[in-house]
Amino acid sequence: MSRTIDAVVSPTQTNTIPADISGHMLDLDEDDDLEVFSKDSTLADGNMFNASMPTSPGSMVNQCKFEEDEESDSKDIFITVDNPESHVTAIETFITYRVLTKTTRSEFDNSEYEVRRRYQDFLWLKGKLEDAHSTLIVHPLPEKFVVKGMVERFSGDFIETRRKALHKFLTRVADHPILSCSEDFKVFLSAQAWELTTYKKQGPGFLSRMGETVRAVANSVRGVKNRPEEFTAIQEYVEDFSNKIGSLDKVTQRIVKEQKEYLEELKEYGPTYTLWSGSEEELAEQLKGVAGCIERCCKETEEQVGHLSDTLVPVLHEYVLCAETLKAVLRRRDNIQAEFEAKNEALATKKVDRDALKEEIDKLEDRVEWANNALKGDWGRWQRSMRGDLKSAFLSTAEKNVDYYEKCLAVWETFLLSQRTEPSEETDRDNTP
Burial class (CB in 10 A: 0-12, 13-18, 19+), 425: exposed
Q: Per CB under 8 A, which region of 3-11, 32-40, 223-231, 265-273 contacts other proteins?
A: 265-273
Count, in order, helices (H) and strands (E) of the chain.
11, 3
CB of 388 vs other proteins, minimal distance in Å: 9
Binder to other proteins among 89, 110, 349, 431 (CB under 8 A)?
Answer: 431
For other proteins, the closer CB: 201 or 429: 429
> Which residues does residue 112 pair with via DSSP β-bridges, in sequence order?
102
Binding mask 369-408 toward other proteins (x if CB under 8 A, else -) reads: ------------------x--xx--xx--xx-xx-xxx-x
Binder to other proteins among 185, 241, 319, 379 (CB under 8 A)?
Answer: 241
Backbone angles phi, psi at 112, to 5 degrees: -140, 140
Applying CB under 8 A, does 254 fall inside the site for other proteins?
A: yes
Binder to other proteins among 68, 69, 109, 426 (CB under 8 A)?
Answer: 426
Positive or negative torsion for Cα 360, 361, 367, 371 = positive
Applying CB under 8 A, does 347 fall inside the site for other proteins?
A: no
CB of 397 vs other proteins, minimal distance in Å: 8
> Which residues does residue 113 pair with via DSSP β-bridges, in sequence order?
101
For other proteins, the closer CB: 196 or 287: 287
Applying CB under 8 A, does 316 fall inside the site for other proteins?
A: no
- Around Cβ 184, how many Cβ atoms within 10 Å? 20
Residue ranges in 286-305 that form contacts with other proteins under rule CB under 8 A: 286-287, 290, 293
E-strand ranges in 54-187 read 77-88, 93-103, 112-118
Applying CB under 8 A, does 421 fall inside the site for other proteins?
A: no
Residue ranges in 35-94 that form contacts with other proteins under rule CB under 8 A: none
Q: What value does the CA radius of gyration of the chain take, rounded to a whole number of Å?
A: 28
Burial class (CB in 10 A: 0-12, 13-18, 19+), 136: buried
Give, for 57, the enclosing helix (H) or strand (E): helix 57-63
**Distance between CA atoms of residues 193 and 216, nearest Å:** 33
CA distances from 191 to 10, 165, 402 (A): 22, 22, 46
In the complex, the residues that contact other proteins under the rule CB under 8 A are: 25-26, 28, 237, 240-241, 244, 247-248, 251, 254-255, 258-259, 261-262, 264-266, 268-269, 272-273, 275-276, 278-279, 282-283, 286-287, 290, 293, 387, 390-391, 394-395, 398-399, 401-402, 404-406, 408-409, 412-413, 415-416, 419-420, 425-427, 429, 431-433
